[in-house]
Structure 1
């Protein structure tokens, strides 16, 4: 019998929990937000890495409707918090609703506005884990801003690391369709060759690149 990797993962790890099922249904069908959230296995990886690292402060760049945020929040140690940054006020409002539905809103701060302005306000080495899943063209810039914020031993995680996703929802009309992929490749090469980061790819649907600060 043959099956897809996603089908095998679902068969081994079991079905998505009902709360996440309802969140996906409402966010994608009722709210009509784009289907660019992390896949279920990527969500589990994020939760697992958070549980292993036990960061006091997690920073997420790109909330959308909060699907990955929920997994990060579920992995937090007692007293830990997630700050998630979102440029779209409507998506942020949907995310707040979903965080309440998942019972993790008490440990998540949703910040609406320009991510770079917020990053500039944080003190160095104040974040234990950073997850980047926002404007792909800005991945190299996010790296430059986020690296100083990571504490020693902190994790830097980037989604869509295989540069094979559909980035149409993020692309301005008339822009270069390969610009996002080139930016992701620049990010990947930078972290992969850095003497200050140890990195490895995780084979989720669109790929996670996980780096630890030496």
Structure 2
């Protein structure tokens, strides 16, 4: 935990204060609405925006919207013809995300879809996505990988948050099951002959994979 705090604190000291819109989104969600601090950290958000800016995906899927902090960063990096579909199981939280995306001026680039992620994933056409970001129920990561992989185009990016054993499992009822699922996901990705992967040192670890 000490190393995580130092990493986050150092990033903030280098990049300086958050933009007012990001600060307002976090204050509204965490202080005014009392939501759990389960969003990606500031540096992870910047990494997502950087990856999207560099990769220029047109069709992006996010599994786990929460209050829209990661979606906001992904949307900022999209090319002019890019679009993000973000999946959220909680309708009330999804509405908060829509509000935040509108406040950040990116709502035209994002559709927040309410419902079970697995149901949506099963309907996707093969090779129909350029990028997938997973940040939802940890015990479901292996299933999300199984369902999302066929929909990811060759050359597409697969990104998973909380990919380290000390990731954020605060919302999980069974920490051991969550850690086991994360381990299964990371090992499956790392050992795949069709994915080239690397960890990025955010607070809870991003695992980025390129489909070859």
Normalised TM-score (structure 1): 0.94
Residues 19-58 of structure 1: pairs in structure 2 closer than 5 A: 19-58=21-60
Which of these residues, 96, 100, 111, is aligned with residue 98 of structure 2?
Answer: 96
* Counterpart-to-counterpart distance in 1, 2:159 and 2:96: 24
Distance in 2 (CA, whole Å) between partners of 1:182 and 1:64 is: 23
Q: 1:124-139 maps to which residues of 2 (within 5 A)?
A: 124-139=126-141
In the TM superposition, what is the alpha-carbon distance from 1:13 to its structure 2 partner?
Answer: 1.9
Unaligned runs of 5+ in 2: none
- For the residue of structure 2 that corresponds to 1:162, the secondary structure is coil
Q: Report the counterpart of residue 62 of structure 2 in structure 1.
A: 60
The 1-side partners of 2:12 and 2:147 are apart by 36
d(CA) in 2 for partners of 1:158 and 1:166?
12
- 1:11: how far off? 2.2
Query: What secondary structure sits across from 1:32 in the alignment?
Result: coil
Q: CA contact under 8 A between 1:65 and 1:91: conserved in structure 2?
A: yes
Whether the 8 Å CA contact 1:160–1:206 is kept in 2: the answer is yes
* Correspondence 1:177 to 2:179: no
Among candidates 78, 84, 105, match of residue 82 of structure 1: 84
Structure 1 position 9 matched with structure 2 position 11: yes
Partners of 1:53 and 1:17 in 2: how far apart? 24
**Counterpart contact for 2:29–2:35, Cα < 8 Å:** yes
C-alpha offsets along residues 133-158 of structure 1, whole Å, 9 cap, x if unaligned?
Answer: 00100000000001111111000000
Work out whether residues 167 and 205 of structure 2, in 8 Å CA contact, stay in contact via their aligned partners in 1.
no
- The list of structure 1 runs, each at least 4 consecutive aligned residues, that deviate by more than 3 angstroms after superposition, is none
How far the C-alpha of 1:88 sits from its partner, in A, is: 0.4
CA distance in 2, matches of 1:11, 1:110: 33
Q: 1:213 to 1:11 in 2, by over 3 A?
A: same
Are the equivalent residues in 2 in contact too, given 1:33–1:91 (CA < 8 A)?
Answer: no
Structure 1 gaps, min length 5: none
Residue deviations 1:62-115 (CA, integer Å, cap 9, x gap): 000000000000000001100000000111010011001100001100000011
What SS class does the counterpart of residue 178 from structure 1 fall into? helix
Specify the alignment match of 2:187 in structure 1: 189
Aligned to 2:123: 121
**Residue 201 of structure 1 corresponds to which residue in structure 2?**
199
Number of the residue aligned with 2:210: 212
